[in-house]
């Protein structure tokens, strides 16, 4: 009797995070890596890591890689997706009306995003397209911002710098942190790390280097936040990605070997200008 074995395929965000980590490694170490195997696709009996990377110049130089998505509260992924869809409509109406040498982030709380359906969404997009087009030219310094109110809630537009590849001349959606962000994030992060670390530890004992790739839905994870979690000191690389529609648009290297970057150096921040997906 023929036995059919279901092969688990990688999700697009997992594959993109791994591909971009390989690009970051090349920049950090000047060593080329490629995917050697995907243990979780072969091991169907116990939880296993997502990837093993192998150096193109040293067959003994391998890195065990585990990816996970971190959300601060139930439904955050849906909230972020809906908000980015709304801001995409705002951005389309702002084309060629905002500074072409800057890019911007627009943030709104979950309560506002949840309320934007039907005609209210159409009116919101119309009003804020005009507001962004009028306000953006006054915000040219990095991290400068302007706020306005909508139904008693603050909407924030922030200038986020100059990226000559694909970011400039656009406004992007950014999730807004809830008031209890730290507490919510801490609990979910503790669970995520607790699930992932044992898998990496197994490979660490076999002599492989290890990497934890955190896809941060909120875009708020910092080295100072992560450094206090037990077990992470044994991980060789910790990279926090911010994604948009499964593509990694920002990658921050928070840990290399024993070094934690609580204040992130510029050469440990990666974006599309560095070739990220």
167 or 84, which is more confident: 84
Whether the CA torsion 63, 266, 220, 257 is positive or negative: it is positive
Phi, psi for 61 (deg, rounded to 5): -95, 100
**pLDDT reported for residue 4:** 40
**pLDDT reported for residue 181:** 67
Q: Can you tell me the mean pLDDT for 84-112? A: 94
**pLDDT reported for residue 8:** 55
Pick the range with the lowest mean pLDDT from 161-170, 175-184, 190-199: 175-184
User: In which element (H, E) is residue 154 found?
Assistant: strand 153-159
User: In which element (H, E) is residue 126 found?
Assistant: helix 119-135
- Residues constituting the chain: 277
216 pLDDT band, cuts 50/70/90, is confident
Q: What is the pLDDT of residues 45-92, one digit of tens each?
A: 889 999 999 999 998 999 999 999 988 777 888 898 899 999 999 999
Nearest to 52 by CA among 198, 211, 214: 211
Whether the CA torsion 218, 219, 224, 227 is positive or negative: it is positive
Q: Can you tell me the mean pLDDT for 154-160? A: 94
Residue 3 scores a pLDDT above 60:
no
Residue 5 scores a pLDDT above 60:
no
Residue 179 scores a pLDDT above 80:
no
Q: What is the pLDDT of residues 117-144, one digit of tens each?
A: 999 999 999 999 999 999 999 999 988 9
Contact status, residue 192 vs residue 70, Cβ threshold 8 Å: yes
Q: Can you tell me the mean pLDDT for 205-214? A: 97
Q: Are strands 33-37 and 51-55 parallel, antiparallel or unpaired?
A: antiparallel
Tokens of 105: 């982030």
CA distances from 22 to 35, 167, 217, 234 (A): 9, 22, 21, 20
- Alpha-carbon distance of 173 to 80, in angstroms, equals 8
Q: What is the pLDDT of residues 8-20, one digit of tens each?
A: 578 899 999 999 9
Residue 166 scores a pLDDT above 80:
no
- Alpha-carbon distance of 212 to 228, in angstroms, equals 15
Whether the CA torsion 222, 227, 228, 229 is positive or negative: it is positive
Tokens of 65: 């890689």
- Alpha-carbon distance of 232 to 217, in angstroms, equals 20
Greatest extent of the chain over all pairs of C-alpha atoms, in Å? 71
274 pLDDT band, cuts 50/70/90, is low
Residue 7 scores a pLDDT above 80:
no
Q: Mean pLDDT in the chain?
A: 88
- Alpha-carbon distance of 217 to 243, in angstroms, equals 7
Nearest to 213 by CA among 5, 15, 1: 15
Residue 276: is it exposed, middle or buried by C-beta count within 10 angstroms (0-12/13-18/19+)?
buried
**pLDDT reported for residue 40:** 92
Q: What is the pLDDT of residues 232-259, one digit of tens each?
A: 999 999 999 988 778 898 899 999 999 9
Domains and CATH numbers, the chain: 30-72+181-274 (3.40.1350), 76-175 (no CATH)
- Alpha-carbon distance of 162 to 265, in angstroms, equals 17
> What single-letter DSSP state applies at residue 19?
H
């Amino acid at each position: 009797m023929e036995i059919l074995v279901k092969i688990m395929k990688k999700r697009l965000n997992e594959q993109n995070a791994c591909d971009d980590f390989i690009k970051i490694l090349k920049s950090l170490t000047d060593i080329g890596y490629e995917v050697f195997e995907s243990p979780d696709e072969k091991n169907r009996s116990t939880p296993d890591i997502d990837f093993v990377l192998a150096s193109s110049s040293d067959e003994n130089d391998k890195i065990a890689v585990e990816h996970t998505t971190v959300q601060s509260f139930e439904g955050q992924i849906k909230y972020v997706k809906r908000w980015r869809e709304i801001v995409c409509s705002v951005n389309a109406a702002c084309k060629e009306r905002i500074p072409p040498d800057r890019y911007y982030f627009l943030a709104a709380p979950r309560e506002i995003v949840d309320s934007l359906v039907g005609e209210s969404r159409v009116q919101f997009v119309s009003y804020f397209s005009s507001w962004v087009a009028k306000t953006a030219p006054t915000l040219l310094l990095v991290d400068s911002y302007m706020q306005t109110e909508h139904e008693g809630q603050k909407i924030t537009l922030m200038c986020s710098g100059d990226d000559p590849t694909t970011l400039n001349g656009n406004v992007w959606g950014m999730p807004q942190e809830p008031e209890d962000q730290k507490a919510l994030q801490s609990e979910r992060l503790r669970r995520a790390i607790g699930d992932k670390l044992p898998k990496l530890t197994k490979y660490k004992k076999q002599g492989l280097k290890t990497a934890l790739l955190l896809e941060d839905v909120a875009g708020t994870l910092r080295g100072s936040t992560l450094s206090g979690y037990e077990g992470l000191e044994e991980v060789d690389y910790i990279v926090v990605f911010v994604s948009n529609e499964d593509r990694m648009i920002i990658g921050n290297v928070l840990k290399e070997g024993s070094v934690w970057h609580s204040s992130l150096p510029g050469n440990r921040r990666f974006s599309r200008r560095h070739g990220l997906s």
